[in-house]
Amino acid sequence: MFDIQNDRMGTVGYRIAPHVWGRGYCTEALKRIQTFIYTETKIDRLWTDIDVNNIASNRVVEKCGFTLEGTIRHGKFGSRYCDYNTWGFLREDYEKGKL
């Protein structure tokens, strides 16, 4: 988690070595981060941006209960321009058991 804004919201992200892709590590880690955030902090919103072509990463956040909030077309994503999805997860999602 990074880019925490006013103790209210923060960005989540992850990188994992290719030789361990597909083993569920990102999903497990993200769920643990969500649990920590919503039981130990006052943060209300987590969000992340993911390249539309990164099917696996989009699936990770979907499995973790994030809501697809929109797609930015031809937006700046890091140092390049591409289409990317914006995903969000709220404290109320956690409380409703969306995790």
pLDDT by residue (tens digit) across 17-68? 999 999 999 999 999 999 999 999 999 999 999 999 999 999 999 999 999 9
Please say if the pLDDT value at position 79 is more than 70: yes
Question: Which of the four pLDDT bands, split at 50, 70 and 90, describes residue 4?
Answer: confident
Contact 21/54 with Cβ under 8 angstroms?
Answer: no
Question: Which of the four pLDDT bands, split at 50, 70 and 90, describes residue 80?
Answer: very high
Q: Which of 16, 88, 18, 19 is nearest to 50 (CA)?
A: 88
Residue with tokens 């930015």: 72
Contact 56/45 with Cβ under 8 angstroms?
Answer: no
Tell me which of 3.30.413.10, 3.40.50.720, 3.10.50.40, 3.40.630.30 is the CATH number of domain 2-95: 3.40.630.30
